[in-house]
Structure 1
């Protein structure tokens, strides 16, 4: 799965980026604004997509002066499915977090980093996960790591890549200015800080 554009698994056309922009926008946008934010397609191409989505009722068009502003219709019957598709990346992180939270002992740190965290990888990108443990790696972690890797592959089609270090080594890496530390600090998604879904 392409974690940069997870909706592309089901909506590979320009409709996906247009819907993503509208779904994440807190305000109505013009077609030109949508095209600029989506960084996909042309203004006429986006206009054709918007016309089709307006005709279906999923998008609402309102004339404001000379401009037409577009917003999603969250009351549309198909909206829950669209919302789910647009949230796949966040849902994946939630699933990984829920799995790791069940590990005993709990990792001192569990972070998705790299292209999955930055949302700039492709469909063949690994999902990189940093796990920091105490002095000795818990014996149960090998099985749990393997199982999580298998689950991630089933959930996404992507492979998981684990980086496992003890707390002392992690502190050394911080002191050394290791590039991995910079990547984790800059882009990392802290799995243990994610709020579990109800």
Structure 2
């Protein structure tokens, strides 16, 4: 049984890759930190709620009130409104800033972890640089939640044998599952198989053209367009 199967059976907690900070600070305080850490401009509660993209204005104002009470956020009245700024003199602010920075780079570090894991695979039959890897679906669009699986497209060079393919798929899925707690679905195919999907106008092609986010190897969107153009040229 794979790690992905284990996660499905146990209902293990997942990471929201669109909002990584929620893995550590699950309340709206984390979203307030994320917004205030990126600016020194005073912001209203409604502006912070809008920029965070999470929760209601009322909920954000309650979260900000708790942070003001704890001293990590300053508040003052400007006209009829209350505006908030981070208290960068607070002794805990460096920790908060480090947390926000870590959350901001979470996707980049996840991508690096996947590539590094593949590079550690001892295989003379395929080079990691020849493998295209891309996120697609809700994670790629930045619309995922803690309940979302992580969808990865893996495009391998021509004539890749199953004995090589299976370990690579397992490495990608297990690395992402271990790093995030999320179930990872790897859609693996060769360039010939990708060409066949293009020829059939498979719905997945439109999906990948819309939101595939390549992080290793040849860019997936460019590859699909190149293969599509080659087919068009062959018919002329």
Please indicate the TM-score interval, normalised by the length of the shorter structure.
0.7 to 0.9
Shift, 1:68, TM fit? 4.2
* 2:103 alignment counterpart: 85
Which residue in the other structure is 1:158 paired with?
182
Assess if the C-alpha contact under 8 Å between 1:96 and 1:191 holds in 2.
Answer: no
> CA–CA distance in 2 between the matches of 1:120 and 1:13?
18
1: CA distance, partners of 2:88 / 2:208:
35
Count of residue correspondences? 193
Output one character per residue of 1:85-135: Cα deviation in whole Å (capped at 9) or x when no partner: 354344323322443466642244211111221232333322111111122
Q: TM-score, normalised to structure 1's length?
A: 0.76
Match of residue 29, structure 2, among 1, 8, 15: 15
* Deviation per residue, 1:156-190 (Å, 9 max, x gap): 11122111111123234345443322222222221
Is 1:105 matched with 2:119? no
CA distance in structure 2 between the partners assigned to 1:28 and 1:94 by the alignment = 36
**1:96 pairs with 2:114:** yes
Shift of 1:65: 5.3
Contact 1:4 1:120 survives alignment (8 Å): yes
Q: Which has the larger radius of gyration?
A: 2
Q: Does the CA-based 8 Å contact 2:135-2:153 persist in structure 1?
A: yes
Residue 57 of structure 1 deviates from its aligned partner by: 4.7
Q: Which residue number corresponds to residue 196 of structure 1?
A: none
Tell me, yes or no, if the aligned pair for 1:129 and 1:161 is still in contact at 8 Å: yes
Gaps of 5+ in 1: 194-198
Which structure shows the bigger proportion of residues in helix conformation?
2
SS of the residue corresponding to residue 149 of structure 1 reads helix
Query: Does residue 141 of structure 1 match 2:155?
Result: no
SS in 2 for 1:145: helix
Which aligned segments of 4 or more residues in structure 1 are displaced greater than 6 angstroms? none
Normalised by the size of structure 2, how large is the TM-score? 0.66
What SS does the corresponding residue of 2:16 show, helix, strand or coil?
coil
Change in CA separation of 1:180 and 1:74 when aligned onto 2, cut-off 3 Å: farther
What SS does structure 2 have at the residue aligned with 1:111? strand
CA distance in 1, matches of 2:68, 2:215: 38
The secondary structure found in structure 2 opposite 1:161 is strand
Gaps of 5+ in 2: 1-14, 218-236
Q: Structure 1's 41 and 109: CA in aligned 2 closer, same or farther, altered over 3 A?
A: closer
**Contact 1:101 / 1:192 at 8 angstroms: preserved in 2?**
no
